[in-house]
Structure 1
């Protein structure tokens, strides 16, 4: 299994999509001799699907086609060399994955054919067991459907622990702590901007373009910041096979 789970698509001031992860992505693409990928852009609401596909083609140096052109989305996934899932609204994305009957085809492609999966923001969220730790509003509906469950732990992308002056609502830490209090058997990995988790086979690695750590939230445990993925493996059983 090959997963790239990115907190976000671009860093502040960065013009190229996936630029901070480009070296890692191209190493994987070249090693596997991948020349094309299928983009699932369903999370995009105010952006053009084909424009996003072209942006990715230019960034990665491969041919990227948007799945909305396919007569059969499931067949497009069945023949894909690589799967790219864009950021945007996680609720919209997960709903359309179900409506287009893509949950099982993606799971089979990644788990059985070892097709690389690259997801950022919403695309990162749907790789986990559910989208309950997304930051997005449920613009499509309020039903929490199962997600792809390729990665066994909930993730909160775009994590920030700043407390804005004058903001009287809950902080992100407080919101995630609430999730863990209601779901005490589950953990949440908080990924800051410019960071990613990579799964290769059963090996897990972490990268941050800003040399920042990630946090692991678990009910009854002190929340800490880590740079070593052993923290994930020691807190929760990790097995992507």
Structure 2
């Protein structure tokens, strides 16, 4: 098993033209096989129907040769994570997800085990948001209060999933996603924001980070114009916390 941190961060589980997770099947299977994973713990905390959400994921991933079990099936979530080789953090509402992770004392535990190379992390949408430095750049409504916006910090920057850099209609005169992100970039506490289009994902392998999937990503840095990165791009420089990239 690799001794370095491993993570696969998806913009979402769904992508136009594909069935659920189909666009990411090859990357998911390679990621889990590389980390010698057969049993995958799914964390459905971003939604309220734990059983139903887990069943959907299980229906997709089990036929690929892996056994999915919802974390709610275990009497102690922390013990489940502590003994797991891999977890999959599902999407939904990011505020609700982060609150439940803190309630179950999982944030620091997951961070430690991933950084030590003992836990492979998969996330989608909200599950990707909570893997980052903070949830400031989620698209979700703050329907509940987590104790802090600080997240698991597997990567030292922020992500905006489901990114779209144009409005659906020329008649739309409201705020765009870019405007919202630039507002965040004006804050003193801002971090770089890597925006993942639908079908895009990030593969973290130790000290390397690459854009994967069927769509690219866009990077926002403080005081700079946004930069596009195609599928296959190396964005490992974003992992260097000591480098002043903001």
**Aligned position for 2:77:** 73
What SS does the aligned partner of 2:186 have? helix
Q: Is 1:35 aligned with 2:38?
A: yes
Q: Is 1:99 aligned with 2:106?
A: no
Alignment of 1:8-87 (within 5 A): 8-15=12-19, 17-45=20-48, 48-58=52-62, 60-87=64-91
Q: Distance in 2 between matches of 1:119 and 1:43?
A: 11
Deviation at 1:183, TM superposition (A): 3.6
**Aligned position for 1:123:** 127
Q: Is 1:200 aligned with 2:205?
A: yes
Deviation at 1:90, TM superposition (A): 0.6
Deviation at 1:161, TM superposition (A): 0.9
Alignment of 1:186-225 (within 5 A): 186-209=191-214, 212-225=215-228
- Over 3 Å counting, the alpha-carbon distance change for 1:187 and 1:111 in structure 2 is same
- CA deviations over 1:76-109 (Å, ceiling 9, x no partner): 0001111100011111100100011111221122
After superposing the two structures, state which structure 1 stretch, 39-48 or 157-166, moved more: 39-48
Work out which of the residue numbers 163, 167, 173 in structure 1 matches 2:172: 167
Q: May I ask how many residue pairs the two structures share in their alignment?
A: 235
Deviation at 1:238, TM superposition (A): 5.4
8 Å contact kept, 1:184–1:218 = no
After superposing the two structures, state which structure 1 stretch, 137-146 or 113-122, moved more: 137-146
User: How high is the TM-score relative to the length of structure 1?
Assistant: 0.89
Q: Is 1:141 aligned with 2:145?
A: yes
Q: Is 1:152 aligned with 2:161?
A: no
What SS does the aligned partner of 1:176 have? helix
Deviation at 1:185, TM superposition (A): 5.2
Deviation at 1:53, TM superposition (A): 4.3
Deviation at 1:163, TM superposition (A): 1.7
- Over 3 Å counting, the alpha-carbon distance change for 1:187 and 1:206 in structure 2 is same
User: How high is the TM-score relative to the length of structure 2?
Assistant: 0.87
8 Å contact kept, 1:18–1:59 = no
Q: Distance in 1 between matches of 2:27 and 2:38?
A: 16
